[in-house]
Amino acid sequence: MYKDDVVRYFKKKISVAEALGLSHVAVVKWKSIIPKLRAMELDKLTNGELKYKPELYAKKITDKKQKRLNNDDHP
């Protein structure tokens, strides 16, 4: 779930914080994709108006890491 969508829904960061029982500072510190458990909580709290998207939280394997896993970077 994207922080911008959450703030747009609640109008203000302080309103997001109050809805979740958090400090304003906690919400301000979120990156562009909010923490997974908060996204799940907001999906439930908004009756699905804000959607939890599991694909945003799937771990992505970089090409470099994949090569290392496949031993492609060794002569």
> 40 with 52: CB under 8 angstroms?
yes
Tell me what pLDDT residue 2 has. 97
Exposed e or buried b per residue across 46-70, where buried means at least 16 C-beta atoms within 10 angstroms of its C-beta = eeeebebeeeeeeeeeeeeeeeeee
Going by C-alpha positions, the residue among 45, 18, 50 that lies closest to residue 34 is 50
Domains located in the chain, CATH noted: 3-70 (1.10.260.40)
State pTM to two decimals: 0.77
d(CA 42, CA 15): 12
Condensed to tens digits (0 to 9), the pLDDT of residues 19-74 reads 999 999 999 999 999 999 999 999 999 999 999 999 998 876 566 666 666 665 55
- Model confidence at 12: pLDDT above 80: yes
